[in-house]
Amino acid sequence: MQTVDFDKYFELYTKAWIAAHEDEYEGYDEMEAQMPEVYAEFLDTPALWLECRTPGAYFDQWDDPRMLVDWMGDYLKRRISVPDMLLNRISALGRAAAPLLIDLLDEESATAEKKMLAVTLLREMDCPLPMERYIDWQCVRGYMDELCDNALESLEQMGESAVPQMLEALDGASPAGQEALLSVLSRFPGDERILEKLLYLFETQDQRRAILAAYLGRLGDTRALPALLERAEDEKLKYFDFIEIRAAIEALGGDAPPREFFGDAEYEALYGAGEPDK
């Protein structure tokens, strides 16, 4: 299996195109605007370096999911950009490729990048099989975790089917995990535990109040207003936190108290010593 660097060949194709067409455009911006069309032409143009096959259809000649997933791994191992066309082919195989991608999620030797691609491909396939695994990841995650964030997107796409298991996982999750799960659950009101957990985190996680306020606003439960209004009047509240809390209050139909932020570093970094936000 050849790990052809498609990006390199597209760069060469682009240089040749620019040399042939630069007199037709007034500036670089106009030429840059043509790049999507140039890329489409590149994908549809038979190439000698692919034995006269087109880049866009090159991987379509194979339907062995194991070979294609291994091929993806070879690209990563060689630090060559994985072609979108290869990823699209794996995604198109759907159920045939899904078990292999799920195995990658538990492979200890698999890199984070490889797992990221597996999560993304499984999401493109609308595959619900890794649901429990994704929820387990959230339960032990930290606040900064790109792989867990990607898995969280998949849980959000799964929608209401994932809600019962996410609710069950709330109590045993870390604070970061609870916040992550609630970011999705706040889109599905109806269970008292969602508001209860959001309010608890809002009151106890000082550094996370802005994002938690946003989730409370999205949940749409007006019972959150007293906590939001009380925090909006906190003299120690930072400007950016106030902005999010105010937005949540307004989303729930309330009116935030007017505030001045003279001396607040965040406010003055944006506005200097001008008129305070109210």
Q: How confident is the model at residue 266 (pLDDT cuts 50, 70, 90)?
A: confident
Q: What is the mean pLDDT of residues 78-92?
A: 97
What's the distance, Cα to Cα, between the start and end of the chain in Å? 63
pLDDT given for residue 48 in this prediction:
95
Distance CA(233)–CA(238), nearest Å, equals: 11
Region 220-241: what's the mean pLDDT?
94
Q: Of 220, 231, 140, nearest to 180 (Cα)? A: 140
Residues near 141 by Cβ (< 8 Å), separated by ≥ 6?
A: 148, 174, 176, 177, 180
Indicate the length of the chain as a whole number: 278
Least confident residue range of 17-31, 91-105, 117-131, 246-260: 17-31
Under the banding of pLDDT at 50, 70 and 90, the label for residue 198 is very high
Q: How far is CA 57 from CA 45, 85, 177, 208, in A?
A: 10, 8, 41, 47
Burial status of residue 278 (CB atoms within 10 A of its CB: 0-12, 13-18, 19 or more): exposed
The yes-or-no verdict on residue 276 having pLDDT over 70 is: no
* Structure confidence at residue 51 as a pLDDT band (50, 70, 90): very high
Average pLDDT rounded to a whole number, residues 6-16: 96
Q: Look at residue 273 in the predicted model and tell me its pLDDT.
A: 59
Percent of the chain past pLDDT 70, that is, above it, reads: 98
Residue 157 has pLDDT above 90, yes or no: yes
Question: How much is the mean pLDDT over the chain?
Answer: 94
pLDDT in tens, 98-155: 999 999 999 999 999 999 999 999 999 999 999 999 999 999 999 999 999 999 999 9
Cα distances from 154 to residues 43, 66, 99, 115, 157, in angstroms, run 29, 23, 16, 13, 5
From CA 182, how far away is CA 172, in angstroms rounded? 13
For the ranges 125-129, 219-223, 260-264, which has the lowest average pLDDT?
260-264
By CB neighbour count within 10 A (0-12 exposed, 13-18 middle, 19+ buried), where does 273 fall? exposed
pLDDT above 90 for 275: no
Tens of pLDDT, residue by residue over 173-182, are 999 999 999 9
User: What is the DSSP secondary-structure string of 175-221?
Assistant: HHHHHHHHHHHTTS---HHHHHHHHHHHHH-GGGHHHHHHHHHHHT-
In which band, very low, low, confident or very high, does the pLDDT at 274 lie, cut at 50, 70 and 90? low
